[in-house]
Amino acid sequence: MPQVQADVLAQLDGTLVVSCQADSGMPLEAPEHIAAIARSVVLGGAAGVRIESAANIEAVRRRVGVPVIGLVKARRPNTEIYITPTLADVAAVIDAGADIVALDATNRPRPADLKTMFGKIEARGRLSMGDVSTLDEGKRAIDAGASVISTTMAGYTPYSNQQRGPDFQLMEQLAGAGLPFVAEGRIWTPQEAVRCFELGARFIVVGGAITRPDAITRGFVDQVASWGANPQLKRNQS
C-alpha cells in the first residue's frame, strides 16, 4: 500500500467518522446542506466523513479537509448490490474527490467482480472499503484486495444477524480472524461506540444518531408517547 494511502488510514485509526447522508425527499438532501452538515461534524471533532453521491462528495470536498469516504447508492433491476455497484460508479466517486471508495462487498450476484473493482480503485491511487455482513464476506473482500472492511451491511442481507443494534458478534469474529475492520451500522450511543473500539475496530462510522434529525426526533417522540400511554409510569412520577 503506497505511503499516502497508508497515512489516510493511520489518520483515521481510533477516531470517529460521521456519515452525512439524507434520504431522497428529505429537507437536507441538497448538496449544500450535506456540505454544511459535514462541516459541522468536523467542527465537532469528526476525523472523517462518509458521503453518498458524486454531487455531495464534490460539495463536501470543497468544505472540509478531512478524509472523505465516498459511495454511490444506485438501485438496479438486475442486482441487489446498490452501494457503488459498478466500475462507472467507482470512477464517479474518485473523480468527485473521495479518498476512500466504499462498495458493497457481500457475496450476492454483482455487476462487476470484487477483485476487478478493488484493483481499479488501487490503480487510481485510492483506498477501498468493502462493506460486508458476515465473516466469510470479510475474508473474501480482503483476499480480493480491499484496503479495509466495514460491518455496514450486517443485518441488511437475509443471511446475516438480524438485530436492532451494532453487530458486536461479527466484530468479534473479524478481530479473531485478524481482519482490519471498521465498525458501522446502528451505533446509537457513545457507549456502543466505545464497545466497537474495545472489540478491535480501527475506527467507527456513525450516521443517523448524529445527522438524521428526523430519526433522532422520532426516538424522542416514541419514548414520550410510550410514557404518555402508560398510566403506571405517570403515577410513579407523581
* In the predicted structure, residue 238 carries a pLDDT above the cut 60: no
Give residue limits of the domains in the chain: 3-212
pLDDT band at 63 (very low <50, low <70, confident <90, very high): very high
Considering the chain, what percentage of its residues have pLDDT values greater than 90? Answer: 87
Element (H, E) at 174: helix 168-176
Q: What percent of the chain has pLDDT over 70?
A: 94
User: CA distances (Å), 82 to each of 2, 20, 71, 170, 234, in order?
Assistant: 29, 18, 10, 22, 46
Task: State the average pLDDT over residues 155-170.
Answer: 95
% helix, strand, coil for the chain, step of 5: 45, 15, 40
pLDDT tens, position by position, 67-87? 999 999 998 888 999 999 999
Out of 3.30.365.10, 3.40.50.1820, 3.20.20.10, 3.20.20.70, select the CATH number for domain 3-212.
Answer: 3.20.20.70
Q: Would you say residue 233 has pLDDT above 80? A: no
- Is the pLDDT confidence value at 4 over 60? no
- Residue 183 per-residue DSSP state: E
